[in-house]
Homo-oligomer: A and B are copies of this chain.
């Protein structure tokens, strides 16, 4: 604790007061220039008070963070900040991942993109295809897509694992996650990359037809 709390009990060796000037040994320094010193004292008081307010504000925000953040083990400021940073980054990534799919504005031009997926959790050995397509919106599009997908067989079934769709401004963006499913997952593995390539080509051609339909005014 420092010198005063609420302007009483000053024991600063520099600051002078009528009483303290009696002290032995500290005489020459503590010549009471009364008015100036009082003003200084008041200023110091104001200063420390406003600094305290500032601290309280900041500490209140730490408290808020402590209540917001889950799984907070250590409660000290550094840990709170560290966890905050971690969480902001984590959440940002999660949101971006989703936004990429269903919250972005559909592309202005028709687009079809096929991606062979990364190894997903338990889908080891299964081929995951992500099909992203943007086009003019129209009723029955999803139905057409699914019907079209049924025609891409090549011996194995193309299974829709997940589907997302969003529309904006008369255009729509659809994302389909497809999985090749053969004669049971216990059976033989999928033949070759060549085969995958062939399926991708066929898939692309098929979906393009669906996309083109409207462009030709057929719908």
Contacts and interface: CB of A to CB of B under 8 A. Distances in A.
Contacts of A27: 25
Given A26-B25, A26-B26, A87 B85 contact: no
B91 A65 contact: no
Contacts of A57: 78
A61 B78 contact: yes
A21 B98 CA distance: 71
B88 A88 contact: yes
Contacts of A82: 61
A63 to B, nearest CB: 10
B62 A81 contact: yes
A213 interface: no
A198 interface: no
Contact of A142 (B26, B29, B146, B157): B146
A61 B64 CA distance: 17
Contact of A164 (B78, B84, B102): B102
Interface in A146-175: 146-147, 150, 157, 159-167
Contacts of A47: none
Interface string A36-75: 0000000000000000001001100110110011000000
Interface of A: 13-14, 24-29, 54, 57-58, 61-62, 64-65, 68-69, 77-78, 81-82, 84-85, 87-89, 91-92, 94-95, 98, 102, 139, 142-143, 146-147, 150, 157, 159-167, 181
11 contacts: A13-B13, A24-B28, A26-B26, A57-B78, A61-B78, A65-B85, A84-B88, A87-B88, A95-B98, A162-B167, A164-B165
